[in-house]
Amino acid sequence: MLFNISEACSTAQVQQVQSLLRDYAMSGFVDLSSQNIDAEITGLPGDYTLPSGALFLATDIDGEPAGCVAIHQFGKPGDAEMKRLFVAPRYRGRGLGRALIERALARAEQMGFNRLVLDTMPEMTAAIAAYKGLGFQRIDPYWENVLPVIYFGKTLASDKSKNLIGSITPDTCESISQLSRMWGKLVADVGGTVADEVKLAIRWANSRFVFYNALVATDPVEEEEQLRRLFARSSEFMNNQEQSGCLWLFDDLVSPNIKGSLEDLARDAGLVSAFTCWGMAGDLIELDEPRHPKLRFERVASVQHLEDYARLNARAYGLSEEDAIAAFRGSRLWRQEVFAYVAYEGLDPVACAGACQVDGRLFLVLVATEAAHRRRGFGEAVTRKALTEASRATGIKRVCLQATADGKPVYEKIGLRVNSSLQLFMLSPS
């Protein structure tokens, strides 16, 4: 049987992991109450997210949840712990457990950890055999578990000069994680592809609305050959799709030694840098009650609201209104999960902004202002409205986003600051 293993980025994927772990916790095989398992499941992904963790979901060919595993930074400096390895009973005996362990090992190495540790019950004979087969050895306890467990560890072939944690700032790590997870939500909402390859997150809806088709580079690139492979894989993927899209590459991921080769290597792969934007973040200290004398705000709840939001984005970025409306049509995410608002001057929609909860932060997504109404404070007003309502409902103060050159000054007025820059690469015109 074929399985797909990917990082759990979207709300639906996290919910599938929660379902698996609830089955595990209720199985009665191990009493995990001492580890506060219920709260951990409810709070997923929790610690299992960038910059120091990851959460993986395995699904079968029909998309049904089959297994999961997680890693997070824990214990001694340089150590990561593998947690919550579970394969649903009907999928056991097919090599899925070993595949999940291998994925956890690979991700821990990519993130620059020196060692991966775990604990397990002596009765878990199949899991123990898999651990030993993959090079894990018995080690001394690395924490005091009240359960009668045994401990294993494996030294990893990590290079600290190339790891995700050590070579770029935590703010850039946060921006990468937030972007890939927010776009995972957007793409999953329309039934697109949400998957993860080595160094590349695939968030591809195959939509005519180009922003819904994204490849996100996730790991540092230290050598020209690595950059060449990244561009080649991205070009290959995009050439095999019906609709165009972009590779999102954060500048901080590229070693200063090879930045001078960036344009040439992209060109060799048939790619061109089409757009530059900036990662921004900040904490909301106090937002004034959002208001503007010429505007009224309406939360997105109806088909008309969705169409207005889509049209504003299409016009702002020079895209087809019809294509944008098709991407938003029927969305559960935009009407139920995103705190999305349209600002109206009289009967005319003039600006829009949305804030979505992503891993304990608010991600500001697809903000737009009608060109004829810019520099009138409309974009700032509706952005403040979306953030204020989202923060009041969730209690979250941390905000992340990717900003255009036009939007950056607006967000700086709100108190957000640039932490990174990134380029969007598209296929070169033929």
Q: Token pair for residue 304?
A: 């008309």
Helices 321-328 & 303-317 angle (0-180, nearest 10): 140
Q: How many residues are present in the chain?
A: 430
pLDDT for position 167: 52
- Phi-psi region at 38: left, alpha or beta (left = phi > 0; alpha = psi -120 to 50): alpha
What architecture does CATH give domain 296-396? 3-Layer(aba) Sandwich (3.40)
pTM above the 0.75 mark?
Answer: no
Q: Which of 7-11, 98-102, 109-113, 309-313 has the lowest mean pLDDT?
A: 7-11
Looking at residue 253, the DSSP 8-state letter turns out to be G
Tell me: pLDDT of 160 over 70: no
In whole angstroms, what is the distance from residue 386 CA to residue 364 CA? 8
287 confidence band (pLDDT: 50, 70, 90): low
Closest CA to 312 of 226, 383, 408: 383
pLDDT at 33 (0 to 100) = 66
- At which residue do the structure tokens 């009907």 appear? 90
pLDDT band at 326 (very low <50, low <70, confident <90, very high): very high
Higher-confidence position of 129 and 4:
129
Angle CA(217)–CA(269)–CA(316) in degrees, nearest 5? 60
Say if residue 196's pLDDT is above 70.
yes
Mean pLDDT of 169-197: 88
How many CB atoms are closer than 10 A to CB 160?
12
Q: What are phi and psi of 94, to 5 degrees?
A: -120, 15
Minimum mean pLDDT among 55-59, 67-71, 344-348: which range?
A: 55-59
**166 has pLDDT over 60:** no
pLDDT confidence band for 161 (50 / 70 / 90): very low
Round to whole Å and give the CA distance between 330 and 310: 12
| Residue 111 banded pLDDT, cuts 50, 70, 90 | confident
Contact (Cβ atoms closer than 8 angstroms) between residue 239 and residue 383: no
Give the position of tokens 């954060």. Answer: 250
CA distances in angstroms from 397 to 276, 291, 321, 323, 393, listed in the order given = 27, 20, 33, 33, 11
Q: Which of 371, 347, 338 is nearest to 295 (CA)?
A: 347
pLDDT-derived band at 126, boundaries 50, 70, 90 = confident
Q: Which of 88, 30, 27, 21 is nearest to 59 (CA)?
A: 88
Whether residue 243 is predicted with pLDDT greater than 90 in this model: the reply is yes
Residue 357: count of CB within 10 angstroms of its CB: 18
Contact 213, 427 (CB under 8 A): no
Query: Per-residue confidence at 94, pLDDT binned at 50, 70, 90?
Result: confident
Residues of the chain with pLDDT > 70: what percent?
A: 93
- CATH 3.40.50.720 matches 4-162: no
Read off the amino acid at residue 79: D
pLDDT score of 12:
78
Are residues 141 and 120 in contact, defined by beta-carbon separation less than 8 angstroms? no
Cα distance between residue 425 and residue 430, in whole Å = 15
Neighbours of 137 (CB within 10 A): 11
According to DSSP, the β-strands at 339-345 and 296-299 are antiparallel
Preceding amide of 220 cis, omega within 30:
no
The 3-state DSSP composition of the chain as helix, strand, coil percent (nearest 5) reads: 40, 30, 30
- Arithmetic mean of pLDDT over the chain: 89
Q: What is the mean pLDDT of residues 275-303?
A: 88
Quick one: angle between helices 11-26 and 170-189, nearest 10? 90
Q: Tens of pLDDT along 18-46?
A: 999 999 888 766 667 667 788 999 999 98
pLDDT of 255 over the 90 cut: no
pLDDT on residue 415: 86
**189 has a pLDDT exceeding 90:** yes
Q: What is the mean pLDDT of residues 343-350?
A: 96
The tally of CA atoms less than 13 A away on the side-chain side of residue 311 is 12
8 Å CB contact between 100 and 136: no
Looking at the chain, the domain(s) classified CATH 3.40.630.30 span 4-162, 296-396
Closest CA to 426 of 200, 213, 252: 213
pLDDT of residue 159: 46
pLDDT of residue 256: 86
